[in-house]
Structure formats: structure tokens, C-alpha cells
Structure 1
């Protein structure tokens, strides 16, 4: 009996030891849960996370309007791939990071086709959003730049430049970008939308940038033609370009609201350079503006100039309106003088109203402005109207819901 009792104890001990071993150190790892590697290769990839959108897109991906997307880091569309964003989609960017942006590489495409009834919106996810909460949208193409055969973008680390003036980076239409312009350092800042050598095969129209901490839109070389751009309360320049941009910009409306005081030392309506190191470097920036309005309604911070055309740029501006209300002002109406090279500009059908300052001519300024003190009217409720046919057509921006108010 004693021998049988001891054998039972031994068996029990073995069973306990076996169970304890299984609980503490499983012999096989769990097989459930996502596998994350920082790339989004397909629509069902574990890295495509609605509330944590970031990574390198290495397959054709669609962002559905039915989802509440939160951009939490850099989202880069790699060469050969296409990112499609459905009409009506809202993407909220995590506030406070210089590494939060959307980038489209050379050879990649973005197909962001919003509509007037269902625009695409990029905004901040902050409870109290501010300019500079996140980076912005950066697109790189393959047209020439006068910085050399190729170059690297100021932000996002994209290569750009090439020889294909008809390069196609996709479509950006009926798109709103808010609270952009995160600053990396004194030389590196995001804009609302940055176009690096983007070609004529690309479709860009109906863009609105609100509350940007740097420029509204900027072109670094490129040939793409752009239509209907609204920039509101931009800290630096509303419409900027450099490095040999040759294209047509149609119906641009920029405004700084009354009370706006978040400005750089030298904010301008239009600023265009070609190449400050070599004004003759090709291609020379030769932008054409068709219908452009620059309004400063802020009595706190004057615009440095309505248009600053410099460093070898040869610009044509048809149907321009520079205006102010009350004591708001421009330092200069037009400035073509710069210590790194002057510019030249030709105006036709140019109108001014209010305190727009004198011209600062270093290069050639051709054409004259006429004064029309009825071009801007302010209703008793503060609503502002601009006379039809003078500068840009503001009605083209009804889809944004934005109202001009003094």
C-alpha cells in the first residue's frame, strides 16, 4: 500500500509540472495580431490603419470617404504607385509634428478628385487648431529645374527634376488644406501645397489653403497649369514660385482678414524667383498669371508687397487687383529690386484700391495700375464684395463655404 501511495504522488507531481510548463512558456508563438512593417502594399495590409495613417505606399491604395482618417506621420506614395482619395474624404493630421505630411514621389500619382459638393479636406486634429500644426502636401515630378539635373526637396526628402515637361503626377481638385506649414528650421518649412517640377500632364484646380504658417502654394520649377486657388490668412507668401516655373496660374484669390496678425517679416501676395545664384540659369521662371486678387484687410500687419518679382524672373500678370480696406496697407505695390538679381513684370488691366504703396523698381515694370475706389464694397454686416471683372472671380470658391468679411 505504501508503494502504491508513493507512485500516485509522483504521477500528480508530473502532471502539475507539465501544466505549469505549458502556462509559463508556450512552445509555439501566437499567430494572431497585425504584422506591421511600415509599408502599405495593398488595401488589406495591416499597416493601412484608419486612426494611424502613415508609412510608404507600395501598392495602389484608396482612402474611402466613409472612414475617419488620422494622419500620424509621413505618408509617402512611392514611384509607380497611385493613392486615390475619394470625394468627401476628411483626413485629420496629428498636430505638433514636422514629420506629419503627405508626399508623392516622382513617378507616383495622387488621384484626389473631390467635387464642389464633396471636397476633400486635410486639416488638424487639434482641439484648438493653429497654423503649422502639420506639414502639408508635397508632390514631385520630372520637369526641369534650374538648380541642376535633379535636386532634393526642401522638405520630405523627395528627388525632383528631369526632362519631361508633360509629366503626370495625377489629380488634385476640390481640395482644402488647413493649418499647414510645420517648421523644421529656419530654412525648411512646409507650405500648404508644394509642387516640385510638376508637369502639364497633372491636373490641379480648385484648391483652398486656410491658415498656413508659411506659403499658401509654391512651385519649384514645373510646367503644370493651375486654376482657381484661394489662400486665406497665410503667414508668409500667398502664391510663391522659383527654380524655373513656366506655366499659367488662373484665378488666384488671396486675402488676409481684418485682425490677422500671424505674419512673417516679409509676407507678400505674390513672390517669384528664378535662381538667386545665377539669374540666367535655365529654365528661367516665366509665370503667367490670369486674374489674380491680393487683398489685405489686416490693419495690424501690412503686406510687404503685392507682387515681388525678382532674381531673374520674367512674369506676366493679366487682370490684377491689389486692394485694402481702412488703414490696412501694402509696403510696396510691386517690387522688382533685389540684391540677388532683379526681375521684370508686365501688367495688363491692373487695378488698385486703398493703401497699396509705391513701386520699387530695380528691373522693368511695364503697364500701369488704375485706381477704382468702388472695386471693393463693404456691406453693413461686414461682407465684402469685389467688382465683377476686376481681378479674380471670387464666386469660383463658393464650394469652400468661405465668406469674405471685414
Structure 2
């Protein structure tokens, strides 16, 4: 299906053409790959330069000829030359990118909540939050301020570059798919915006009456009362009996407010895939939850400059060094894919080891590394690219 003109115009503006790859056979394009210049929040709050891999395609007539591999090879060489220690992507087919060193690092929670049978127990102060409708485009500055304040707290969140905020309010007939135009509400306390939600309403009826659906696009809040007030508003929209969500964090606080989690239709799926382009720089960029002193033997056949032994030393105050240590005995052995999966703190090294993906050489090293790499909130990608 062809994109709406306004969507094409926005994505043409956002596309960084100098970071794109095209493969041609004569006058026919048979392969593409692009990379946005992102800054990704990592544990500790640092915003690390990151390549957001996108628009990867190979023509059906040219499959199994090594075209994808050649583009991935060229792209990772480019990312390294740009000085970006991370590359990330969302995979249309999860089986594809592991062989290029990408590991599934975040998960997404999807919900279909039966609001006719699920109630909310809201925290004190919720009644003091005002929720009001506003125009989604006019509200962008206020919403972006909330998003920016929260981005530093959640690993996996892109720090949005200029113009990316517009992608959050694209509202075409194709986007609606039979639902209402995009709507927006703000949560406010004492005149300050403390949260927002954007959504559509998809009407439906049967013989018993209305059974519409609230399709949530985005929700963010700075405090528990504002968060609860927004969800209470969504649960109470007239002529609806379902709230459905796309990507939400797997530690979504809503699950502790609802009266019946079984009627929330919770489903979890893979989301952001992470690839360490420069192992040393990437491991030095993030913070660690507990002190760690470990030698990692990293396998990386696709980016051989990463292969070998790395000595990671970090304290719990945020300082870390990661240097090559060819003469030291390894404590753990793993591939760069597993390192990418664990990098944002959402995948325990102990789980990878139980699957046979990480091997403990020095007794006790696995527990030490699992504790250090963990984080107090789950990593989350709030929007695609």
C-alpha cells in the first residue's frame, strides 16, 4: 500500500541520505539499508551515539546471493567510521540478524484490556490531577518535555533528534484504519503538564450495545498520580469496552493497578536488537549496578576488531574502563550477540548461560557479571524507526 503524502514527506525529511546504501542492477534497485543517527539511553542515563538501522530490503528476485550480508558488512564498517559504538534495529524477522551480531535486548508488552470487567485502584493524589483534551500538534512541545525528562531514566529509549517528535502525531486515513483522528489529553497539576496520552477510538456495536476500542498510541507521566489519572480516563471513555496498546515496557506499572491481570490480554514479544560495534567504547559508556572486575572472551567473526579478551572494571558510581587483555585468562566466554542482548540490562547473563550461550570459566564470574549488568528498570523502546 502506498504511503500517504504527508507520511512520505516526513520520512523523506528524516531520512539521512548520506547514511543510506543502495544496490543496483542496471537501473533497478535491488537492495537498500539505512541508518539514522540516534543517541540511545543506556544504563546510567548516558545518551550514546547509535546507528538506528532501518529500511533494510532485498528484492525477491535477488535473494540468497549474499546481498544482505554485503550491505551489513558495509554498514557496520561505516558505523565504526562514524564513531558510533552501537547499532540497533527492530527486526521484521527475528531469525535474520543474529548472524550479524545483533541480540534481542528489549521486550514489548502488548495489552487488550477488557475495561468492562477490569477496574483500577489508583494511588492517593490522583483526584488532584486534571486531564484535559488538546490538539495533538499544539501539545507537542509539552509532550516532548515530558518525554525528554523520562528518556534519561529508561535504557533503550532514543533521545529524539529534531523533527522526530512529528512522527508521534502523524495522522493519516491509513493510520486511522477506521478509527477516529488522533486525540490527545494532557495531565496537569497546578498548571504544569505532568503527563500525556495519545490515542484513537475505534467504534463498534453489537446487539447488546456499544463495544468500541481505545487504541493507545503513547502514554507518559512524571509521577504515579498523573500516570493513574491518564489510565483512568482511558478506561472511562464512553461507548468503549476495550483498551488496546502496542509497545509498552514489560514492567508496566498498570499491571499493579488493575483488578484482574488475566483480563488484560498481556503478550510479550521481542523489540529492540542491539549490536556492539566497538566493544570497549560501548562497555565504557554505560554504568553498572554493582562493582565488576572481569575478563570477557568475545567471539565476533563478523566484526573481527571486537574479537578477543576484554578486561572490564567498573564501580557502582558510574566509572568504567574496558581494555584489551590478551595475556589474561578469561572469566566468561560469549559471542558479541549475547553481549548485545545483555547490554541494556534486561537480559540476565545467568539466563544466557542456562541456554548455553555464555560459558563461565572462573567460578563466581557469572553471578558477578549478571548482577553488574542488571538495571533497576526494564529497557524499553517506546517507538519504532
TM-score by length of 1: 0.24
Q: TM-score, normalised by structure 2?
A: 0.25
- Kindly indicate whether structure 1 or structure 2 has the higher relative contact order, using CA contacts under 8 Å at least 6 residues apart: 2
Q: Look at both structures and tell me which one has the larger radius of gyration over its CA atoms.
A: 1
